[in-house]
Chains A and B, each alone.
Chain A
Amino acid sequence: MTYDATFRVWRGDATGGDLQTFTVAVNEGEVVLDIIHRLRATQAGDLAVRWNCKAGKCGSCSAEINGRPRLMCLTRMSTFGEGETVTVTPLRTFPVIRDLVTDVSYNYDKAAQIPAFTPRAREKDGTHRMQQVDVERSQEFRKCIECFLCQDTCHVIRDHEENKAVFAGPRFLIRLAELDMHPLDVVDRKDAAQDEFGLGYCNITKCCSEVCPEGIHLTDNGIIPLKERVVDRKYDPLTWLGSRIGRRPKD
């Protein structure tokens, strides 16, 4: 079962570029990344593309396929009709380096700014103990492979470059949530989440959750709970009062 597919691939760099059309063979069971590799092997030897594991685990091969942020290695060709043109572009939210490769350093800068995990003192026997039920919520976010598809699709920065300075993006809002929920961590990140990492910019329209290849419930389990924690701290007069008169311990 081999057929010829029409591919439109964006080629160029920061100074300009365009969608170029190719006809390329597709075999049964292949994914978009296979086709990009075949293109490179047969027609476009200098096509720049970033990939590594081909198993949806390294987060390198993020791109936009027919306008949707996807991992190329997890997008089966069988999801397209044989006559359908498949359009592949680089992530549109980040500066392009060349062809399908973008400069995602915005994400690494934000990652480095998150107040680091700071555990409480160890037990007398030198260990840190916690119950599974207490870390379970944080562990969902540990599945993240840092493909940055959520960052790419988030309209706060996708459509408003100027917001990059003030908004850390969904991936790092769930990092803040992960640490804020962590039973061992002692740093409070609620004020920073709202004032410095731009939690309030998120309008919970859930595109991050829609594109996450790990199926992380970024909005329901991370961002909304974090918003609620910030409300406790900053906007709810009752919980504010409770914490003032010492009726409400940290957890």
Chain B
Amino acid sequence: MHAGRAVGSGGAVTATAPRRTGAVAPGHGNGMPAPRRAAIAARTLRTDRWWIQPLLVVLALVLFTIYATFRAFQNAHYFSEPYISPFYSPCITTACEGSSFPELFTGPSWISPALYVLIFPLGIRATCYYYRKAYYRSFWLSPPACAVAEPHKRYTGETRLPLLGQNIHRYALYAALVINVILFYDAVLAFRDETGAWGHMGLGTLILLANAVLLFLYSVSCHSCRHIVGGRLNNFSRHPLRYKAWMQVSRLNGRHMQLAWASLLSVVLTDVYVFLLATDTINDLRFF
């Protein structure tokens, strides 16, 4: 068709310019203005309130961390028959209140059972593509907002340790999916009453269930999940079922940020509800 085109099999359609071979080394910044760029001293000329969003993220994450740390170390008021707080599930030691999960070992009594399982939700959230964006921007200011200069002299991104470790995110997802199943199991157990008889339902049952659903949707909408169910394929037409699954996950993936915040909030609210029940501050609203 066109002159110079390698017709037939295999050949590249256009030529590729030579490039350096092998891995390239990062640059070394000195924080000086770049040569030959337009001389503009201002760090940004944005006139909108670009700092609001990073500020809100900092506030939300700091508040959550304080609350979660307090509750995880508190080692009390996390169980009120038949409900267990998501911070403490699965509760795997003999010291656990209630018996929602097989007691696997006897830990030292001063270690809160929440601490054994905390790593799983923490793992997926810390390496999540959305939360990475959120904390790189708002805590590390890299960049604080688009077209606002970051304060660092050097930048290597996720090319070296420890941030290279973000690449294990899919394993954090696998672990989180196991926790998701356990939280559904907790929600099913919440259909029993205080005596262990089935056929109960209270507001707490609904809350546990909604929390399990939101956390599950958060996991399923994950970018790694999207890749695993179908994103890695190049020929969807040969894998119709995985293509369908990929389409569904892609739809959820578009809402991943919203699900990340919604599920974070629901964990807190669920925990607060169980806390209020466990401290006898309120009574569970019974439907039947």
Chain A residues within 8 Å of B, Cβ to Cβ: 10, 12, 14, 16-19, 64, 66-69, 84, 87, 89-90, 92-96, 102-103, 109, 112-122, 131, 133-134, 153, 155-156, 158-166, 180-183, 186-187, 195-196, 198, 200-207, 210-211, 220, 224-225, 227-232, 234-236, 250-251
Is B49 interfacial (CB 8 A cutoff)? no
Q: Which residues of A contact B35 (CB under 8 A)?
A: 95, 161
| A96–B36 CA distance with the chains assembled, in angstroms | 6
On chain A, the residues within 8 Å of B167 by CB distance are 227, 230-231, 234-236
B44 within 8 A of A: yes
For the complex, would chain B's binding face be called helix, strand, loop or mixed by DSSP majority?
A: loop
Q: Is B178 an interface residue (CB 8 A)?
A: no
Q: Which chain B residues border A161 with CB–CB below 8 Å?
A: 27, 29, 34-35, 37
Q: Is the CB of B39 within 8 A of A220?
A: no
Q: How far is the CA of A227 from the CA of B223 in the complex (A)?
A: 10
In the bound complex, what is the Cα–Cα distance between A153 and B149 (angstroms)?
10
Distance from A169 Cβ to chain B, minimum over Cβ atoms (Å)? 13
B146 within 8 A of partner (CB): yes
Whether B44 contacts A67 by the Cβ 8 Å rule is: yes
| Given known contacts A165-B27, A201-B158, A117 and B34 CB-to-CB distance under 8 angstroms | no
B204 proximal to A (CB < 8 A): no
Q: Which of B4-12, B105-113, B280-288 contacts A (4 or more CB under 8 A)?
A: B4-12
Residues of A within 8 A of B42 (CB): 67
Q: How far is the CB of B143 from chain A (nearest CB, A)?
A: 4
Cβ of B169: which chain A residues have Cβ within 8 Å of it? 231
Of the candidates B20, B149, B227, the one having the most CB atoms from chain A within 10 angstroms of its own CB is B227
CB distance from A154 to the nearest CB of B (A): 9
Known A-B contacts A10-B38, A183-B235; A112 and B16 likewise in contact (beta carbons under 8 Å): yes
Question: Which residues of chain B are near A231, meaning CB under 8 Å?
Answer: 167, 169-170
Is B234 in the interface zone, CB < 8 Å from A? yes
Please determine whether A116 and B36 come into contact, CB atoms closer than 8 angstroms. Answer: no
- What chain A residues lie within 8 Å of B137 (beta carbons)? 205
A119/B38 in contact, CB under 8 A:
no
A68 touches B234 (CB 8 A): no
> Does any Cβ of A come within 8 Å of B198's Cβ?
no
> How many Å lie between the Cα of A216 and that of B20 in the bound state?
29
